[in-house]
Amino acid sequence: MLEFCAKRNIAADIELIWMDQVNGGHGEVRQVRCQDRFMIDVANSLQSRA
């Protein structure tokens, strides 16, 4: 499936958020204001705290 999507330039609509933004993203989903999928950028979130 991943090869099929890559060959046809098919990608999901996502919004990249940091760990400290999770509660806000959850609120948007509950209020049905958001049509994107949220992806949590764990690596950069952890690096910013170091």
Which stretch, 17-21, 27-31, 40-44, has highest mean pLDDT? 40-44
**For the chain, domain boundaries:** 11-49
Distance of CA 27 to the CA centre of its chain: 14
Q: Mean pLDDT throughout 8-27?
A: 80
Model confidence band, residue 41 (pLDDT cutoffs 50, 70, 90): confident
Residues 6+ apart with CB under 8 A from 17: 24, 25, 38, 39, 40, 41
